[in-house]
Amino acid sequence: MLASLNEVKLIGTVGQEPEVRDYGDSSFARFSVVTDSSYKGPSGEKVDASEWHHVVCNGRAASQVSEFVHKGCLVYVSGKLKTRKYTDKTGFVRYITEVNAFSVLLLSTPEDRSKKRKAAAPVKQAEPEEPEPIGGWNDDLPY
């Protein structure tokens, strides 16, 4: 008999405010996390890539997410992959793979990250720079 392992560990930026629902004694939370990476392309140029992950959790983890995790936070997520099937509004059957989180640890808040950027900024600037988006998230994404 072969052994199997289904374990996911992510460090990334929360891309939206978590959606939290309470069902009597239990809670359920859903949010997205973006992870960034870079590699050298075929001609040697640096290529930046972002990967979006759907994260769900329930129980105590969901309660903590609702209290402490917000858009722009850097988080460490530990869990397992789970694929589920659903029917969309048009009747089309779709599949989605989610990270079923066992734990979500807050590594920094959006305020912490903006303070670090301000501290690293040069003392003299010719003209004000536009702030960069935190972690590469995009408000136009549907999830």
Structure tokens at 9: 């560990």
Name residue 83's amino acid.
T
Q: How far apart are CA 98 and CA 18, in angstroms?
A: 14
Q: How far apart are CA 77 and CA 59, in angstroms?
A: 15
Asked whether the whole model's pTM tops 0.75, one would answer no
C-alpha distance from residue 91 to each of 19, 86, 87, 96, 142 (Å): 24, 9, 6, 15, 18
Alpha helices, DSSP H, located in 31-132: 60-68, 110-120
Give the per-residue pLDDT at 118: 54
pLDDT in tens, 73-117: 999 999 999 999 999 999 999 999 999 999 999 998 777 665 655
Give the per-residue pLDDT at 114: 59
Q: How far apart are CA 94 and CA 142, in angstroms?
A: 15
Q: Give the number of other CB atoms < 10 A from CB of residue 140.
A: 5
Residue 91 per-residue DSSP state: S
Give the per-residue pLDDT at 30: 95
110 or 71, which is more confident? 71
pLDDT in tens, 4-51: 899 999 999 999 999 999 888 888 999 999 999 888 888 989 989 999
Name residue 39's amino acid.
Y
Domains of the chain as residue ranges with CATH:
8-37+47-120 (2.40.50.140)
